[in-house]
Amino acid sequence: LVGSWGDSLCSYGKICKLLKDRGEKKANVVYFGLDQNICELIKSQPNIDKVSWLKIDTPSVIGKYINMAVRDVPQWLEETGIKDQLPDIVPTHVTLKDQHQNYNDCYRDFDLLLPPSLGNWDEFLADKTPYILLQPYSTQSCSYEDHWQFWKQAMNYLVEKTDKNIVVVGEMPDTLKDIFDLELFENPKVTCIVGQTRSMLDVLHIANGASAIVTTSNALSCWSVIKKI
């Protein structure tokens, strides 16, 4: 597996397809990324045996190799040394060539089990059901100023047009809290837990309780397809 949450969810689907096509029951996985919680997610699946974490602490360095894996898998295998250490490895990251040739070949017939949440969100959100999960931005993927500029209008639209509660999640560094419009969240239908989830695992647990998802996150988009939300 290469990348972050969205990449890993798609890659796990490819693993399921590979096992099905080969008539095999279990696979070993090497995760190449920054988030150990992805290892915990993959370990929780019944068709996974061992999970190893190939960790690089520097985001810019891992970004270099992730881009390389997308662009040229053989070069990535050679430069990382994985080719010599794991000669039987099957990369699951979708390359640009694969995307071009198989743009409709996205395997969706699989499920994912979640390890326990790091926070007790089921209890916290018990009186909010039914709710729509809104993830309008994440400052990990791009700057606050460059993200989806109409998310506030979208949230107000949801508040106006639906009887359901709105649960808002996302990342907000302390340095940006002074430009965060808290008055937007004064509506009793809106619950803001931006910056309070400790892992994407928590967000996926919250998503499982949602009746719908509005998001700019590829991980949550993938999750909505997997779980048919």
Surface-to-core class of residue 36, CB atoms within 10 Å of its CB (0-12 exposed, 13-18 middle, 19+ buried): exposed
Residue 85 pLDDT level (bands cut at 50, 70, 90): confident
In this predicted structure, the answer to whether residue 7 has a pLDDT above a threshold of 50 is yes
Tens of pLDDT, residues 19-38: 998 899 999 998 888 889 99
Q: What is the pLDDT of residue 100?
A: 44
Q: 63: which 2 tokens?
A: 């970004």
Tens of pLDDT, residues 122-133: 888 999 999 999
Of 141, 202, 201, 200, which Cα lies nearest the Cα of 173? 141
Beta bridge partners of 109: none
**CB of 56 closer than 8 Å to CB of 34:** yes
pTM over 0.95: no
Residue 117 half-sphere exposure toward CB, CA atoms < 13 A = 16
Q: Which amino acid makes up residue 137?
A: Y
CB atoms within 10 A of CB 60: 7
DSSP codes joined into one string, 156-171: HHHHHH-SSEEEE--B
Rg (CA), the chain: 19
pLDDT, mean of residues 160-186:
77
Can you tell me the distance from the alpha carbon of 50 to that of 26, in angstroms, rounded to the nearest whole number? 9
- Provide the sign of the torsion angle of the four alpha carbons 148, 6, 92, 78, taken in this order: positive
Round the average pLDDT of the chain to a whole number and report it. Answer: 83
In this predicted structure, the answer to whether residue 207 has a pLDDT above a threshold of 90 is yes
In this predicted structure, the answer to whether residue 224 has a pLDDT above a threshold of 70 is yes
Q: What is the pLDDT of residue 95?
A: 53
